[in-house]
Structure 1
Amino acid sequence: MTFFRLYKILTVFRAYRLDELLPKHRSSKWLRVLLFSLFWVRPKAKQQEIGERLRQALQELGPVWIKFGQMVSTRRDVLPKHLADALAKLQDQVTPFDGKIAKQIIETALECPIDYYFSDFNEQPLASASIAQVHTATLKSSQAQVVIKVLRPNILPIIKSDIRLMYWVANQFTKRIKFGEKLRAVEIVSDYESTLLKELDLLKEAYNTARLRDNFINSEILYIPYVYQDLCRKNILVEERIYGTPIANIDELKRSNVNMKLLAERGVQAFFTQVFRDNFFHADMHPGNIFVDISEPQNPRYIGIDCAIVGILTEDDQRYLAENFLAFFNQDYRKIAQIYITSGWVPETTDAVALEMAMRNVCEPAFAKPLGEISFSQILLALFQVARQFEMDIQPQLTLLEKTLFYIEGLGRQLYPALDLWQTAKPFLEKWYEEKYSAKKLLQQVWQSLPEWKNLVVELPVKLNDQARMTKQMHIQLKQINQELQRSKRCQRRLMFMVVVLSLLGIIALVVH
């Protein structure tokens, strides 16, 4: 199975001439020869650029590789722009599986006939993607319209098989191609595997969706559908059916007279609110997962679905990231360098002056443009790329954040090209940082911790007494050990004396004899 799958991958690579992606070095010659030996494979997409050929190749290889390409397209820290742009166009074009099979999966998961909970179950899927497909139904208990997400049958063995091949290919690149480790191919496959396995557990997605919904209850900027968690299982998810305009349908939004400026700004607000206020953010906000409620065109609201992938930052990363953004807004490159070192993102032995100069060289050309034209996500990406040169090992949560910011800013600029991310983001960050780390906030934290201090003061004499008793016992034990050591040394000296005396007596006896 794996051999034939590998053969299929190699023939696709040959057909789309993906050997052009290999570095011009003798260490990659073996792979070029292998691909060239498949002389019977006919070329495809002859007139297309390499990025488009790569996109079509992944499309042909199927669902797992499509999602891999979609994920890789967000890793602009390791991928050239023209390839990232081409892969970003990948869409799940997957033939749906039989609706009767989906019905059987649901009944097995719920351990009852489907009409026990649902009426009007539609065997024709509403949508079909690489991992799962979605069917509509009506909930009998409340007559609420719902969607039921069902994992594809037998998807796990296919995923595991393809991922094994991905690791093999990644390792070959890393080991056999000069500078191959810079591609971070194994790291990318590992990130992908982690992401994909999370998407295979719909109970996790149900929890994430419910938590995000709680964070934005009664919000005017973002709506998350209700999840019927008691009906969710590892392979099925039941949630409220939403109605909205796909975010990518910009023509429809304009025809509906939607306030595009407000919509774009609210996208930025939703992102920063999730990252800093809640520290729990939807990390897969590509256009297919975002809709717009246009029932009030001048007061539009986002609708977010498919919450399988979320990001959480450590408190330190959250603070350092906010400080990094604010320092960047203020063009304080020395501060940026200090943050990268203090945070541990780069080694503490890093030359701060050299790092500052590298950051300055990246940022200053950007500030030659009007603020509204500066890409916030591209600058963050550039800063991470510079930091990589100083041995920065980007944490997965920061990669997720970078990807999400890229999506949000890209969508915002499509909706409203004059979007000034700075005008929206800077006041939010300044307010959040002031509330979180101001002197007043620190005093509040001290005041709130007074009961703990009171208990500590009450317990302090007892603890000190215990400590004194333990110290005294240790002194007694050390004294006993010292006495034993002294006795041992005396015994050793006596033994040595006896050995010497006996040796002398032996020598005298031999001489006399």
Structure 2
Amino acid sequence: MKRLLRATYIAWVALRYGLDELVLTSFRHPGVRLAARIASVGRDLSAPRGQRLREALQRLGPIFVKFGQVLSTRRDLLPPDVADELARLQDRVPPFPAEVAIATIERAFRKPLGDIFSSFEREPVASASIAQVHFATLRDEHGREREVAVKVLRPGMQKVIEQDLDLIRTMAGWVERLSADGKRLKPREVVAEFDKYLHDELDLVREAASAAQLRRNMAGLDLVLIPEMFWDWIRPDVLVMERMTGIPIGQVDRLREAGVDLKQLARDGVTIFFTQVFRDGFFHADMHPGNIMVSVAPGTFGRYVSLDFGIVGTLTQTDKEYLAQNFTAFFRRDYKRVAELHVESGWVPADTRVDELESAIRSVCEPYFDRPLSQISLGMVLMRLFQTSRRFHVEIQPQLVLLQKTLLNVEGLGRQLDPELDLWATAKPFLEKWMLEQVGPKRFWRELKEQAPYYAKMLPDLPRLLHGYLQQRPDEGLNAQLLEVIREQRRTNRLLAAILYAGAGFLLGLVAMQLYIWVRINFNWG
């Protein structure tokens, strides 16, 4: 009965805000289209469709707000006006009572609050749909005190989420079966993606582990601060971490008054992003201004402070190499290579004409080069690329969705801090250096050192194995053609010489490639 009532309420909100006009008009069935026309009679639908969708999701509650936020990242699936409106959704809800938070903490640690914290601020400093945060002072076993932030999961979220997710899955199935665009929109895949993100955020141990990994990765960069996790005081529904202080990155006037170099801060943000993506393949995927501060403490002045690690992205080595080649080709305006990479990766059908795809990509990207960030929008470039890609049946890979979202966040931060920041020029040297390390001699020697223990173990046995192999009689299975090679010493010598020359040529090629890339980077060639 509860599910039925909830479904009825969702249907009423959808009709109230005219979502049937937004969704049902693309359905094939004539009866569905007729129902959409009847439902639209007598309503005020003068507001833009994206605004009506955003307001409807806000009316339906925090789970639908979060779904809209995830959906806003799929700009390959949505019209620009709808995606822009969904990006405005704010995950802010009234806090739950402090008594409930305290009860959750005491239940999680099986101790009274006073045995854990010497002080606890009852008024939360932040409240969202999944959890809220309180400041406190942690007392350790030696009597020392640390200023901490305590994140407490909102009670009863698991049940509420599962109920709404069931309804969203059902609606996604309807869209896929009845909508003419159902296959392209992939509604069930989007819901599955949302389900994963949501359940990841419900496990605060997972969030703490992600934060700890990012903290280790960023330790040597000296550009970003990530709070320490106190593992003795972390449970699935409670997370105790180091309290971080700083100025919210959105308060540009305060940063300027504090003496922060905003231009350098903008460049540092780009460096942090590309380091996490291409060096580590593990990046903070929720870098909106609400989760970023800037330290003004003497020892860490001007560094980023990252918060909220419920959503992180990961990339495989193959993903990183493919992306780096794409970015590098874009920066060099080598649109043919970009088109070839799309075909090689399977993003477009194998029979796609590379010259046509190259021409389409050029028409999108060329007008935006050599302009400061104040005059371009990377989001608009991506949007136009997605629209162009549909003609060629390009499928955006799921593992890159979070990367697109984070890249848009980085663009927004850069525009806010330094409108003249040239994102292309800032990123190009970093990517070329990374490519040199991945395909040049450094990678060859690194992999050789990693495999050295295996080779060291194998080499002592090699003469015995080779001798045993050469002593085999033809009736023991020795290939006749190989036996002929062994008997003819001259042919064997030629074969060995060819191998030696090939190895020498390979090493010379690596040296030549390193020299070429070094000259190109240092003398600004290409």
**Which of the five TM-score ranges fits, normalised by the shorter chain?**
0.7 to 0.9
Corresponding residue SS for 2:290: helix
Alpha-carbon spacing, 1:140–1:360, altered in 2? closer, same or farther (3 Å)? same
Shift of 1:449: 3.1
Residue 252 of structure 1 pairs with residue 254 of structure 2: yes
Paired letter, 1:12: V
Give per-residue Cα distances to partners, 1:120-178, cap 9 Å, x unaligned: 12232222110111122110123111111111111111111111111111121121122
Residue 17 of structure 1 pairs with residue 18 of structure 2: yes
Query: What does residue 480 of structure 1 align with?
Result: none
Shift of 1:198: 0.6
Alpha-carbon spacing, 1:234–1:326, altered in 2? closer, same or farther (3 Å)? same
Provide the C-alpha distance between the structure 2 equivalents of 1:401 and 1:467, rounded to a whole number of angstroms.
52
Give per-residue Cα distances to partners, 1:171-209, cap 9 Å, x unaligned: 211211222322222222111111101101111100001
Contact 1:373/1:420, CA 8 A, preserved across alignment: no
Provide the C-alpha distance between the structure 2 equivalents of 1:344 and 1:26, rounded to a whole number of angstroms.
30
Provide the C-alpha distance between the structure 2 equivalents of 1:179 and 1:130, rounded to a whole number of angstroms.
31
Contact 2:76/2:396, CA 8 A, preserved across alignment: no
Alpha-carbon spacing, 1:127–1:372, altered in 2? closer, same or farther (3 Å)? closer
Counterparts of 1:300-339 in structure 2, within 5 Å, are: 300-339=302-341
Contact 2:372/2:420, CA 8 A, preserved across alignment: no
Residue 277 of structure 1 pairs with residue 283 of structure 2: no
Paired letter, 1:95: P
Alpha-carbon spacing, 1:293–1:83, altered in 2? closer, same or farther (3 Å)? same
Shift of 1:452: 2.5
Query: What does residue 151 of structure 2 align with?
Result: 149
- The TM-score normalised by the length of structure 1 is 0.84
Provide the C-alpha distance between the structure 1 equivalents of 2:176 and 2:343, rounded to a whole number of angstroms.
28
Counterparts of 1:287-436 in structure 2, within 5 Å, are: 287-295=289-297, 300-367=302-369, 369=371, 373-380=375-382, 382-383=384-385, 386-387=388-389, 389-436=391-438
Query: What does residue 73 of structure 2 align with?
Result: 74
Paired letter, 2:203: D
Contact 2:27/2:178, CA 8 A, preserved across alignment: no
Paired letter, 2:267: E
Alpha-carbon spacing, 1:462–1:212, altered in 2? closer, same or farther (3 Å)? same
Alignment gaps of 5+ in structure 1: 477-513
Shift of 1:332: 0.5
Alpha-carbon spacing, 1:211–1:471, altered in 2? closer, same or farther (3 Å)? farther
Residue 215 of structure 1 pairs with residue 217 of structure 2: yes
- The TM-score normalised by the length of structure 2 is 0.82
Alpha-carbon spacing, 1:241–1:299, altered in 2? closer, same or farther (3 Å)? closer
Corresponding residue SS for 2:232: helix
Query: What does residue 93 of structure 2 align with?
Result: 94
Alpha-carbon spacing, 1:472–1:292, altered in 2? closer, same or farther (3 Å)? farther
Which deviates further from its counterpart, 290-299 or 239-248? Answer: 290-299
Query: What does residue 460 of structure 2 align with?
Result: 458
Alpha-carbon spacing, 1:25–1:193, altered in 2? closer, same or farther (3 Å)? closer
Contact 2:24/2:33, CA 8 A, preserved across alignment: no
Corresponding residue SS for 1:228: strand
Query: What does residue 437 of structure 1 align with?
Result: 439
Contact 2:373/2:419, CA 8 A, preserved across alignment: no
Shift of 1:105: 1.2
Alpha-carbon spacing, 1:7–1:338, altered in 2? closer, same or farther (3 Å)? same
Contact 2:24/2:32, CA 8 A, preserved across alignment: no
Paired letter, 2:281: N
Which deviates further from its counterpart, 467-476 or 353-362? Answer: 467-476
Which structure's CA Rg is the greater one?
1
Give per-residue Cα distances to partners, 1:356-401, cap 9 Å, x unaligned: 2332232223337567734445434544554454444333221111
Query: What does residue 8 of structure 2 align with?
Result: 7
Give per-residue Cα distances to partners, 1:412-453, cap 9 Å, x unaligned: 112221111112101111111112221344245335534433
Alpha-carbon spacing, 1:102–1:370, altered in 2? closer, same or farther (3 Å)? closer
Alignment gaps of 5+ in structure 2: 479-526
Shift of 1:321: 0.7
Provide the C-alpha distance between the structure 1 equivalents of 2:26 and 2:105, rounded to a whole number of angstroms.
53
Provide the C-alpha distance between the structure 1 equivalents of 2:37 and 2:287, rounded to a whole number of angstroms.
40
Contact 1:125/1:133, CA 8 A, preserved across alignment: yes
Counterparts of 1:142-291 in structure 2, within 5 Å, are: 142-217=144-219, 219-291=221-293
Shift of 1:454: 3.5
Provide the C-alpha distance between the structure 2 equivalents of 1:29 and 1:314, rounded to a whole number of angstroms.
45
Shift of 1:473: 10
Which deviates further from its counterpart, 460-469 or 288-297? Answer: 460-469
- Cα RMSD of the aligned pairs, angstroms, is 3.1
Corresponding residue SS for 2:254: helix
Contact 1:372/1:418, CA 8 A, preserved across alignment: yes
Corresponding residue SS for 2:96: coil
Provide the C-alpha distance between the structure 1 equivalents of 2:394 and 2:60, rounded to a whole number of angstroms.
34
Shift of 1:53: 2.1
Shift of 1:336: 1.0
Provide the C-alpha distance between the structure 1 equivalents of 2:184 and 2:434, rounded to a whole number of angstroms.
37
Provide the C-alpha distance between the structure 2 equivalents of 1:456 and 1:391, rounded to a whole number of angstroms.
49
Provide the C-alpha distance between the structure 2 equivalents of 1:340 and 1:198, rounded to a whole number of angstroms.
31
Which deviates further from its counterpart, 85-94 or 369-378? Answer: 369-378
Provide the C-alpha distance between the structure 2 equivalents of 1:321 and 1:211, rounded to a whole number of angstroms.
22
Give per-residue Cα distances to partners, 1:20-75, cap 9 Å, x unaligned: 313645636655665777799x968x663322222221111111011111111222
Alpha-carbon spacing, 1:374–1:92, altered in 2? closer, same or farther (3 Å)? closer
Query: What does residue 113 of structure 2 align with?
Result: 114
Aligned-pair identity in percent equals 44
Paired letter, 2:99: K
Shift of 1:220: 3.4
Contact 1:257/1:297, CA 8 A, preserved across alignment: no
Paired letter, 1:365: P
Residue 57 of structure 1 pairs with residue 56 of structure 2: yes
Give per-residue Cα distances to partners, 1:277-299, cap 9 Å, x unaligned: 22210011122211122346995
Corresponding residue SS for 1:120: strand
Contact 1:14/1:35, CA 8 A, preserved across alignment: no
Give per-residue Cα distances to partners, 1:295-318, cap 9 Å, x unaligned: 469952211111121111111110
Query: What does residue 123 of structure 1 align with?
Result: 122
Query: What does residue 133 of structure 1 align with?
Result: 132
Corresponding residue SS for 2:265: helix
Paired letter, 1:409: E
Provide the C-alpha distance between the structure 2 equivalents of 1:265 and 1:392, rounded to a whole number of angstroms.
32
Contact 1:198/1:309, CA 8 A, preserved across alignment: yes
Alpha-carbon spacing, 1:446–1:220, altered in 2? closer, same or farther (3 Å)? closer
Provide the C-alpha distance between the structure 2 equivalents of 1:91 and 1:64, rounded to a whole number of angstroms.
12
Contact 1:259/1:299, CA 8 A, preserved across alignment: no
Count of residues in Structure 1 that have an aligned counterpart in Structure 2: 474
Contact 1:19/1:32, CA 8 A, preserved across alignment: no
Provide the C-alpha distance between the structure 2 equivalents of 1:453 and 1:387, rounded to a whole number of angstroms.
46
Give per-residue Cα distances to partners, 1:478-507, cap 9 Å, x unaligned: xxxxxxxxxxxxxxxxxxxxxxxxxxxxxx
